[in-house]
Amino acid sequence: MRKIALWLAILSLTACFCGCSSGSKTGGSGENKELEQVEDFTKYDLDVYMKPIWSGEIVYNETVMLVGKGDYAPLLYPATEILSVRSYDLQKEYVRGVDYEYDKELGAIIRGSDAIPYIPTQVYYPSQAIEGKTFPCTAEDRAYIAFAEGSYFSSNQIAVTYRHRGQVCVEKPNCQKEAFSSTLAKLQNNEPVKILFYGDSITVGANSSGFVDYAPHADIWSKMVFDSLVKKYGATNAEYVNTAVGGWTSQNGIDNLEEKVLAHNADAVFIGFGMNDGSLSPSTHAWQIKKMIDAIKERNPNVEICLVSTMLPNQEVAGFYREQYAFEGEYKKLIAEYQGKGDTKICLAPVTSMHQAILEKKRYYDMTGNNVNHPNDFMARVYAQTVFQTVCGYEE
- 307-318 pLDDT, tens digit per residue, is 999 999 999 999
Q: Pick left, alpha or beta for residue 234 (phi over 0 → left; psi -120 to 50 → alpha; otherwise beta).
A: left
Q: Are 297 and 127 in contact (CB under 8 A)?
A: no
Q: Are 285 and 277 in contact (CB under 8 A)?
A: yes
Is 52's pLDDT higher than 60?
yes
Q: To the nearest whole percent, how much of the chain has pLDDT over 90?
A: 90
Encode pLDDT of 254-272 as tens digits: 999 999 999 999 999 999 9
Q: Are 323 and 282 in contact (CB under 8 A)?
A: yes
Please give the pLDDT value at position 166: 82
- The length of the chain is 396
Q: How far apart are CA 361 and CA 14, in angstroms?
A: 9
Q: With bands split at pLDDT 50, 70 and 90, how would you rate the model's confidence at 33?
A: low
Q: Are 391 and 349 in contact (CB under 8 A)?
A: yes
Q: What is the mean pLDDT of residues 84-94?
A: 98
Please give the pLDDT value at position 326: 98
Please give the pLDDT value at position 13: 41
Decide: helix, strand or coil at residue 228: helix
Q: How far apart are CA 177 and CA 287, in angstroms?
A: 25
Q: Of 232, 228, 225, 234, which is closest to residue 196 (Cα–Cα)?
A: 225
**Which run of H or of E encompasses 352?**
helix 351-359
Q: With bands split at pLDDT 50, 70 and 90, how would you rate the model's confidence at 34?
A: confident
pLDDT averaged over the chain?
A: 92
**Orientation of helix 327-340 relative to helix 282-299, angle to 10°:** 40
Q: With bands split at pLDDT 50, 70 and 90, how would you rate the model's confidence at 167?
A: confident
Encode pLDDT of 96-132 as tens digits: 999 999 999 999 999 999 999 999 999 999 999 999 9
Q: Are 348 and 173 in contact (CB under 8 A)?
A: no
